[in-house]
Amino acid sequence: MLRAESLCKTYGRGAKAVRALSEVSLSVDAGQFVLVRGASGCGKTTLLLTLGAMLAPDSGRVEVGGTDPYTLNDEARAGFRATRLGFVFQQFYLIPYLNVRENVACAAVKGTNGGGDGRVEELIARFGLEGRLEHRPAELSTGEKQRVALARALLNRPRLVLADEPTGNLDEANAQTVVKALKDYAREDGAAVLMVTHDPRWEAAADRIVCMEYGRVL
């Protein structure tokens, strides 16, 4: 499902240049739940953004479901993200002025089965948010926020889910829920799920663990 070959990414130039990715190769099959581990600053977020069709690598190649998103123009690449990819972030990144339902639905795209066919309600029910439909993010607990973010990420049935430390701000129980949801999504919907984390507790749940150090995969 996801293949990355020899990805290199350097921020800045000259003396200030930081090599965030060097020769990273990686592949995740459909149905797999893969963890990425590594110290802070080793390039995990950079990797996720590169795989997520938002940050073009300096060299190397990314392929998601057979398509290299960096061969697409900006507009097509946005559509590619909307239909093929789901993102979950540590800080949830909900839209503050939209309520729970709207936050889940805001990424709905015509042509996927994201909008209008009960998918929103299904996800809201799956993540136990039925009583919170009209609430704004500011009125939610952190666990609820992350569940809303999860529902939003899964709305368009993405083939690849990229989660950047989604449990970093959560308590044990909520973290468990999130990890289980991601793993279940990989299993049941046959998607590739890549989750960045520092936390060794989730290693047991993973199909594979990718360790990074100084921009390299060990």
Partner 1 sequence: MKLGTLMVRELLHRKVNALAGILAMAAAAGACAGVVLLLRVFDAQTERLLASRRTASAKAWAIFQDEMRKDMLRLGFNLMILNREQNLSTPDEQTKTMPEEYGAKLAAAKLAEINHIVPFLQRKLWWPEKSRWITLVGTTGDAYIKAFGKQTPMVQAVAPGKAVPGYAIHKGLGLVPGQKIALGGWTFEVARGLEQRGFEEDEMIYIDLRTAQDMLKLPGKINGILAVNCVCVGPEALLTIRKRVEALLPGTRVIEHNSKLVTRAEVRGKAAKEADAELARQERLRTELRAGRVTAGTTLIPLVALAAAFVLGVLTWENVGRRRLEIGILRALGFTARRIQALFLAKAMAIGLVGAAAGYGAAVVAVKLWLATGEPWEMFVEPLLPALLLGGSLVLAAAASWIPAQLAAGVDPAMVLLQEGG
Q: Which residues bind partner 1 (CB under 8 A)?
A: 45-46, 48-49, 52, 54-55, 74-75, 78-83, 85, 87, 89-91, 93, 95-98, 102, 105-109, 152, 164
> Quick one: tokens of 174?
């909520």
* Shortest separation between residue 196's beta carbon and partner 1, angstroms: 9
* Min dist. Cβ of residue 2 to ligand ATP (A): 18
45 binds Mg ion per the rule CB under 5 A: yes
| Candidate ranges 39-47, 62-70, 134-142, 171-179; the one touching Mg ion (CB under 5 A) | 39-47
- Check if the beta carbon of residue 135 is closer than 8 Å to that of residue 60: no
- What does 83 interact with, of partner 1, Mg ion, ligand ATP, none (CB < 5 to 8 A by kind)? partner 1
Q: Please state, in angstroms and rounded to a whole number, the distance separating the CA atoms of residues 146 and 64.
A: 25
Amino acid at 6: S
- The least CB distance from residue 46 to ligand ATP, in Å, is 3
In the bound state with partner 1, the residue whose beta carbon lies nearer, of 101 and 183, is 101
Q: Which of 181, 196 has the CB closer to ligand ATP?
A: 196
Length of the chain: 218
152 binds, among partner 1, ligand ATP, Mg ion, none (CB under 5 to 8 A by kind): partner 1
Task: Examine residue 50 and tell whether it contacts Mg ion (CB under 5 A).
Answer: no
Per CB under 6 A, does 11 bind ligand ATP?
yes
Q: What mask, x for binding ligand ATP by CB under 6 A, covers residues 38 to 77?
A: x-xxxxxxx-------------------------------
Angle at 129 between CA 159 and CA 145, to 5 degrees: 70
In terms of CB distance, is 112 or 204 closer to partner 1?
Answer: 112
Which residues would be at the binding site for ligand ATP (CB under 6 A)?
11-12, 18, 20, 38, 40-46
